[in-house]
Amino acid sequence: MEHSVESFRTRRLVAARLRADDWAPLFRLHRDRRVMATLGGLQGPEQTRSALRQHIDHWERHGFGLWAFRQRSTNAFVGRAGLRHVEVGGAAEVELAYALRAESWNRGLATEMAAAILERAFGALGLANVVAFTLTSNRASRRVMDKLGFRYERHVLHAGLPHVLTRVTARQRAAPRPVREPRRPGVTPASGEDHDDTDVSACNADPNRPRLRAPSVARSFPASARAISMARGRTASSGTASCTMPRVTASGAG
């Protein structure tokens, strides 16, 4: 597999660093209520231009950032995803962020995109670790993190709402993971098995590996019960991790 940074291909997608001419498809993404429900709400044209300028500047400063992903077969825009510097939980981190068009949900594309990005994060870019965070109620995004090897670290407040912070290291990604026996046709998944609302290709990679389990949110943030309740109403599966994943923050909507 190729490991260039500015552009690359996966099995079904082609990725290229975000550029000024990506404004139109990005704006359409920002106007989709389904996608933006967990990304801070709808954005107008100027907000999208500002976000795009920030993404382009990030590439210039750091040599990496977000990519625009398109279908290899049709060149249709699928979404944006990548790596960016953020401050979360009081610390500076590099975050894996992604958001897909609603029409591209439930096809395993979020995982395909994120896996290719992590290969570059820990390969060509030489990063030691990457974080991902999402609203505590966004179970679909948390399952994607789990499949990618992210491990629960702690709860954090981000944009005034409770989020789950997870992390994966280069060493963890490099470790071999046992191959899981394919599910037999007609067999109902056991209770607790992964049902991924974001990616139909989702399945637990390793039944012996600790799953992404977090302590009670109420214990972590006793004063945030009302915020959690409000957030749950806005966290239908968005195919984002925003798949970074997804979170309610103006900066995360880019």
Query: How much of the chain, in percent, has pLDDT values that exceed 70?
Result: 68
**Sheet with 77-88, side-by-side order of all strands:** 7-9, 13-17, 66-71, 77-88, 91-100, 129-135, 161-169, 151-158
pLDDT(203) > 90: no
**Residue 190 resides in a domain:** no
Lowest-pLDDT choice from 34-38, 84-88, 200-204: 200-204
Encode pLDDT of 106-134 as tens digits.
899 999 999 999 999 999 999 999 999 99
pLDDT(145) > 50: yes
H helices of 63-213, where? 109-122, 139-147, 170-174
pLDDT(31) > 60: yes
Give the pLDDT confidence score for residue 166 in this predicted structure: 97
Residue listed under structure tokens 């966004």:
138
Residue 163 lies in domain: 7-176+196-253
| Gyration radius of the chain's alpha carbons | 17
Q: What is d(CA 251, CA 254) in angstroms, rounded to the nearest whole number?
A: 6
**Residue 219 resides in a domain:** yes
Q: For residue 46, what is the enclosing H or E element? A: helix 45-62
- Rounded to 5, what percent of the chain is helix, strand, coil? 30, 25, 45
**Residue 72 resides in a domain:** yes
Beta strands at 151-158 and 129-135: parallel, antiparallel or unpaired:
unpaired
Encode pLDDT of 182-199 as tens digits.
555 554 333 333 333 333
**Residue 71 resides in a domain:** yes
Give the pLDDT confidence score for residue 87 in this predicted structure: 95
**Residue 146 resides in a domain:** yes
Encode pLDDT of 58-101 as tens digits.
999 999 999 999 999 999 999 999 999 999 999 999 999 989 99
Token pair recorded at residue 149: 């090897």
Q: What is d(CA 117, CA 1) in angstroms, rounded to the nearest whole number?
A: 12
> What CATH number does residue 14 fall under?
3.40.630.30
Instruction: Report the chain's mean pLDDT, rounded to a whole number.
Output: 77
**Residue 231 resides in a domain:** yes
Q: What is the mean pLDDT of residues 227-252?
A: 40
Give the pLDDT confidence score for residue 4 in this predicted structure: 74
**Residue 212 resides in a domain:** yes
Encode pLDDT of 147-187 as tens digits.
999 999 999 998 888 999 999 999 999 886 654 545 555 54
- Of 136 and 118, the one with more pLDDT: 118
Question: Residue 232's pLDDT band (boundaries 50, 70, 90)?
Answer: very low
- The structural domain count of the chain equals 1
**Residue 139 resides in a domain:** yes
